[in-house]
Amino acid sequence: MITILTIESTCDETAAAVVTDTFQVLGASLATQAALHRAFSGVVPEIAARAHLERILPVIDQALRRADRSLSDLDAVAVATTPGLANSLLIGLSAAKSLAWALDIPLIAIDHLHAHVFACRLAAQRDIYPCLGLIVSGGHTHLYDYPTPLDPVYLGGTLDDAAGEAFDKVATMLKLGFPGGPALARLAERGNDRAFDFPQSFAGDGTLRWSFSGLKTAVRYALAGQGKIDWSSVTIPDQFAADVAASFERAVCEILVEKTVLATKLTGRTRLCVGGGVAANRRLRALLESAAREEAIELLIAPPELCTDNAVMGAIAIEHYRAGRFAALDIDIHPGLVRP
């Protein structure tokens, strides 16, 4: 049996997992940094990197102990090297390189985006490729065609904000704290989703493009009017906030589903796999499920606990191992957002 240690440090979660080539997760560990970034309403890159530095070895140690494995049991070490915050990626990669070198085992470089889709493979415990992949996270909202797990073809995506980023920014306007996506979704449950007709950019235009920045601005105007605003003086009545949240969430989810269904038609793929933090959203899951029923699409959505960042989805490293795709010890990170 092949045993692989996977490491995740792309943004603000420090995580490690021990997985096998039979797709079993022997143990996993995750340290979230939400509390460190809350005061800033967003992830502060330097704080994130320094927290990774403190936590990475204890997190790896805990994953190994939970798996009841020691370093000498490992056959490879895998790490997400793209995309993400530069200094956060560097901490994970430095740890992985050191282990690979010291243990004299192969190093595997994972793409975090494609790992999000692979979470569906792990949960299903059966092959899911070829498929269409939708990644909806805090930094990315993209569609990929996957003839195989390791050779994705970019089909389209957002031109500006990611869906999760829009959730977080609107949540900040609604004074819901950080990270705002889950809090906004909770508030939306008691709102009227038809109270506002927020814009859905590129709707019905036949392209696989999204844009969420105009929607964000429309929400701002609905909450506080146009022009220069002192947010501390803006009061938002509770039901009004819930109505804005529900209408915003509907606008995002509907356009996500419209373009995703279009992508299945353009590619002819009948299997759709969805991952990333926003895939935990209940309205999005429900809309995807009803669209899949109507369009006869086989739908797999990552289980909620594997939607947000984690190292378990790093099990895509198994595919790298099988294909003999290893990284050299001088490999660099590739930070930054993926944009067309």
Instruction: Encode 22-59 in three state secondary structure.
Output: CCCEEEEEEEECHHHHHHHCCCCHHHHHHHHHHHHHHH
308 touching ligand KG4, by CB under 6 A? yes
Q: Which of the residues 46 through 105 are near ligand KG4 (CB under 6 A)? A: none
Q: Does 168 bind ligand KG4 (CB under 6 A)?
A: yes
Binding to ligand KG4, residues 10-49 (CB under 6 A) = 11
Please list every residue from 132 through 171 that binds Zn ion, using CB under 5 A.
137
309 binds Zn ion (CB under 5 A): yes
Q: Are strands 153-158 and 209-210 parallel, antiparallel or unpaired?
A: parallel
Least Cβ distance, residue 11 to Zn ion (angstroms): 7
Q: Total residues contacting Zn ion (rule CB under 5 A)?
A: 2
Q: Which stretch binds Zn ion (CB under 5 A): 67-75, 126-134, 308-316, 328-336?
A: 308-316
At 241, which amino acid appears? A
- Let me know: does 316 contact 17? Beta carbons within 8 Å: no
Helix or strand holding residue 304 (H, E) = helix 304-307
152 makes contact, choosing from ligand KG4, Zn ion, none, with CB < 5 to 8 Å by partner type, with none
In the complex, the smallest distance separating the C-beta of residue 39 from ligand KG4, rounded to whole angstroms, is 17
Q: Which entry of Zn ion, ligand KG4, none binds 210, CB below 5 to 8 A by partner kind?
A: none
Q: Omega before 147 cis (within 30°)?
A: no
Region binding ligand KG4 by CB under 6 A among candidate stretches 59-67, 148-156, 164-172, 293-301 = 164-172
Q: Which spans in 104-237 are helix H?
A: 112-124, 163-173, 180-188, 213-224
Distance CA 170, CA 192 (A): 16
Among 138, 149, 152, 191, binds ligand KG4 (CB under 6 A): 138
| Least distance to ligand KG4, CB of residue 13, Å | 7
DSSP string computed for 94-121:
HHHHHHHHHHT--EEEEEHHHHHHHHHH
Select the span of 45-53, 70-78, 181-189, 224-232 touching ligand KG4 (CB under 6 A): 181-189
Residue 139 in the binding site for ligand KG4 (CB under 6 A): yes
Closest CA to 18 of 90, 80, 70, 84: 70
Binding site for Zn ion (CB under 5 A): 137, 309
